């Protein structure tokens, strides 16, 4: 199909439609249509697609006045017209096409094309419409294009932190992707950009976002910062599956957990950095597993022993010498205990996260969702290499199949009310 706006078109209607320096009003377009009705053809619509300064009223007038035969031809070839409009960053006509020809959303091509050549506003409009019309997950964001990559893949591949539009497009895609991951009906406009990216982008993009959007979480309270740091660590290649500090292999700590000697457990873990090399080791067992096996929610001693073990194990995995005094127990437990026990721990230590603010809740929920997704998809490789498994798969066999996690809804409700 020929392009018109740069070809010196002769007939008056086409000239008026293609005028970008001094856009012609809808009234003038109407007069020209009435005087030259035969000039209102597919080429006129091509000109409208190529002129982002043409008003919405003028575009709608052109579409309304097309002959029935020509209108059907537009409907049949709407993706081609939309492609022209995307390349000229003509947001208005794309919105009109979505409203009049909603089937344009079904293939995912228009979204992928907008992500490649268009604007963040255009991508947002398409995703929002796709969400309203239930076009796949996240408004069609995860639908494969040409059996290769989805729109989020495209946005990630084309990301350039020095290009504002490319950055805004990825941000837009991430807010919809994160909403889908978090089971939100629509994206939350107040959701921190950095938090949407965790678990959804490769490490080099996450590092870029850390640099660009750290200010969004600078004033978040300490529990939220702990949760964000934990979520980021879950995406790290250094997050080795199931690896615990050597102190947890010591016979004396294992015996102390078995015999419920709380003070001994506390002392041994506090002195871990200094005395581990002098302790006798057990090659087949570890103190955290013992504490998990001994756990009884009605026995305060066993609860305290598990809590202390979880705090020190989590601190070591995060590269800390000792756990912070205000670190929530349930956050420390993520990735270290089976799911049913995790639900029990949330109920028991809910007071530690009861008074967190809104952003802290978002951060905590993000960590819990990432943990759930790791459990559910443990046997499937992540195509984007977003993050490796952090869970200890040895313990999963204690709680049955990964395919069904009946506690998920209750778990998220308990943590995020």
pLDDT of residue 155: 96
Residues 353 and 270 placed together within one structural domain of the fold: yes
pLDDT of residue 319: 86
Residues 206 and 252 placed together within one structural domain of the fold: no
pLDDT of residue 385: 46
Residues 121 and 38 placed together within one structural domain of the fold: no
Structure tokens at 182: 């978090």
Measured CA distances, 399 to 93, 144, 344, 393 (Å): 54, 34, 14, 11
| Torsion angle of the four alpha carbons 219, 222, 224, 226, in this order, in degrees rounded to the nearest 10 | 130
pLDDT of residue 337: 92
Residues 384 and 258 placed together within one structural domain of the fold: yes
Residues 364 and 292 placed together within one structural domain of the fold: yes
Q: Is residue 179 part of a domain?
A: yes
Residues 251 and 208 placed together within one structural domain of the fold: no
Residue whose entry in the numeric block shows the structure tokens 């929002």: 128
Range of the domain at 37: 1-76
Per-residue pLDDT of the chain in tens (417 residues, 90 and over written 9): 445 555 554 689 999 999 888 889 999 999 999 999 999 999 999 999 999 999 999 999 999 999 999 999 999 999 999 999 999 999 999 999 999 999 999 988 999 999 999 999 999 999 999 999 999 889 999 988 877 889 999 999 999 999 999 999 999 999 999 999 998 999 998 899 999 999 899 989 999 999 999 888 888 899 999 999 999 888 876 555 557 888 898 899 999 999 999 999 999 998 864 455 555 666 678 999 999 999 999 999 999 999 999 999 999 888 888 899 889 999 999 989 988 899 899 999 999 998 899 889 999 999 998 887 766 554 333 444 444 433 333 333 323 322 232 333 444 444 443
Q: Is residue 233 part of a domain?
A: no
Query: Which residue among 182, 202, 219 closes a domain?
Result: 219
Q: Is residue 19 part of a domain?
A: yes
Query: With contact defined as beta carbons under 8 Å apart, do 312 and 268 qualify?
Result: no
Q: Is residue 366 part of a domain?
A: yes
Residues 309 and 163 placed together within one structural domain of the fold: no
Residues 270 and 194 placed together within one structural domain of the fold: no
Tell which residue, 327, 313, 161, has the closest CA to residue 229.
Answer: 327
Residues 161 and 274 placed together within one structural domain of the fold: no
Rounded to whole angstroms, how far apart are CA atoms 89 and 121?
10
Q: Residue 393 contacts by C-beta under 8 Å, 6 or more apart in sequence?
A: 241, 242, 378
By three-state DSSP, how is residue 332 classified?
Answer: helix
Q: Is residue 94 part of a domain?
A: no
Residues 362 and 257 placed together within one structural domain of the fold: yes
Query: Which residue among 203, 219, 235 closes a domain?
Result: 219
Residues 117 and 70 placed together within one structural domain of the fold: no
By three-state DSSP, how is residue 371 classified?
Answer: helix
- Domain total in the chain: 3
Q: Residue 50 contacts by C-beta under 8 Å, 6 or more apart in sequence?
A: 3, 4, 5, 18, 84, 85, 88, 90
Rounded to whole angstroms, how far apart are CA atoms 155 and 116?
7
Residues 25 and 66 placed together within one structural domain of the fold: yes
């Amino acid at each position: 199909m020929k392009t018109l706006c740069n070809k010196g078109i002769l007939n008056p209607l086409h000239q008026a439609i293609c005028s970008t320096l001094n856009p012609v009003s809808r009234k003038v377009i109407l007069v020209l249509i009435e005087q030259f009705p035969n000039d209102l053809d597919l080429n006129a619509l091509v000109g409208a697609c190529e002129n982002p300064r043409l008003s919405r009223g003028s575009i709608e007038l052109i579409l309304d006045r097309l002959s029935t035969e020509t209108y059907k031809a537009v409907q049949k070839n709407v993706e081609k017209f939309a492609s022209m409009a995307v390349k000229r960053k003509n947001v208005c006509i794309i919105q009109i096409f979505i409203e009049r020809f909603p089937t344009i959303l079904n293939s995912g091509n228009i979204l992928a094309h907008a992500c490649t050549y268009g604007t963040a506003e255009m991508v947002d409009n398409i995703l929002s419409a796709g969400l309203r019309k239930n076009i796949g997950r996240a408004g069609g964001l995860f639908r494969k294009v040409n059996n290769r990559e989805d729109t989020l893949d495209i946005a990630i591949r084309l990301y350039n932190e020095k290009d504002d539009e490319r950055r805004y497009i990825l941000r837009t895609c991430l807010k919809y992707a994160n909403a889908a991951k978090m089971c939100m009906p629509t994206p939350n406009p107040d959701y921190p950009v950095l938090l949407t990216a965790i678990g959804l982008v490769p490490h080099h993009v996450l590092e870029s976002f850390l640099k660009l959007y750290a200010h969004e979480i600078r004033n978040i309270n300490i529990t939220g910062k702990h949760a964000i740091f934990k979520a980021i660590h879950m995406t790290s290649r250094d997050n080795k599956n199931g690896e615990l500090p050597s102190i947890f292999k010591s016979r004396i700590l294992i015996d102390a957990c078995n015999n419920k000697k709380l003070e001994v457990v506390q002392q041994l873990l506090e002195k871990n950095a200094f005395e581990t090399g002098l302790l006798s080791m057990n090659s087949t067992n570890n103190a955290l597993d013992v504490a998990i096996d001994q756990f009884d929610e009605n026995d305060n001693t066993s609860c305290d022993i598990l809590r202390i073990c979880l705090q020190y194990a989590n601190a070591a995995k995060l590269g800390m010498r000792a756990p912070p005094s205000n670190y929530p127990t349930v956050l420390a437990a993520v990735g270290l205990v089976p799911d049913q026990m995790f639900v029990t721990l949330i109920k028991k230590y809910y007071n530690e996260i009861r008074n967190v603010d809104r952003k802290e809740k978002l951060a905590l929920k993000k960590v819990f969702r990432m943990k759930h997704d790791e459990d559910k998809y443990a046997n499937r490789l992540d195509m984007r290499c977003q993050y490796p498994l952090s869970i200890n798969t040895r313990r999963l066999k204690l709680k049955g199949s990964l395919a069904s996690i009946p506690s998920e809804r209750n778990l998220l409700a308990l943590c995020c009310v």
